[in-house]
Amino acid sequence: MEFEEKQSLKLWWLYILLAIDVVMVVSIVLFDKGGMSFETLKATYFAPFWAILLPFAIIYLLQKNKMTLQVGTEGISYKYFPFQTKLKLLSWANIEKVYINKYNALGDYGGFGVRSRLWFKFNDKAYILNDKDKGLQIEFKNGKRLLFSSNEIEELEMFLINLKTRYNIQAIQ
């Protein structure tokens, strides 16, 4: 019996910023005082083309990020590709509480992605990959906290209730 969810960053607004960047660079290269010659481009090491290609590469890498979250009888496992290639298991023995928590991505953690809590609370870490406001909150026995955003919050909540009643896991609240 296992719950599994896969998420990735959906940053549609990055494409708008990229379009603005492309328009600015192309307009400078083509229209500024008759445009740039090949010799000028060569002398600048083709910097205008790098100004267009580098943001494309960064956005491509950001869109390839994928988080896998698994909840099962042994504990909670997760991996955040490409930074983690193997699942990391968080055992039920090390977890004090697990519950569904409401959060504010911008107000509490300062944005999306892998974040630490704002205001110097370094024991709180979050994997926020969507624009929802509820996620799986984990509190460990050593005082640290970990939050995972979820697209399937109702299914996850039902799975946690089922897991608690079937296997009597005390950490699930």
- Mark residue 2 as left, alpha or beta (left: phi above 0; alpha: psi -120 to 50; beta: remaining): beta
Integer Cα distance of 58 and 127 in angstroms? 19
Banded pLDDT at 30 (limits 50, 70, 90): confident
- C-alpha angle with apex 144: 142 to 146, nearest 5 degrees? 140
Cα–Cα distance for residue pair 19/26, rounded to 1 Å: 11
Q: What are phi and psi of 113, to 5 degrees?
A: 105, -155
What average pLDDT is seen over the chain? 86
**SS3 of 101-138:** EECCHHHHHCCCEEEEECCCEEEEEEEECCCCCEEEEE
Instruction: Give tens-digit pLDDT for 108-126.
Output: 888 888 888 877 677 889 9
pLDDT at 144: 93
Q: What does the pLDDT look like over 44-94, one tens digit per residue?
A: 777 778 878 888 888 888 788 899 999 999 999 999 988 888 999 999 999
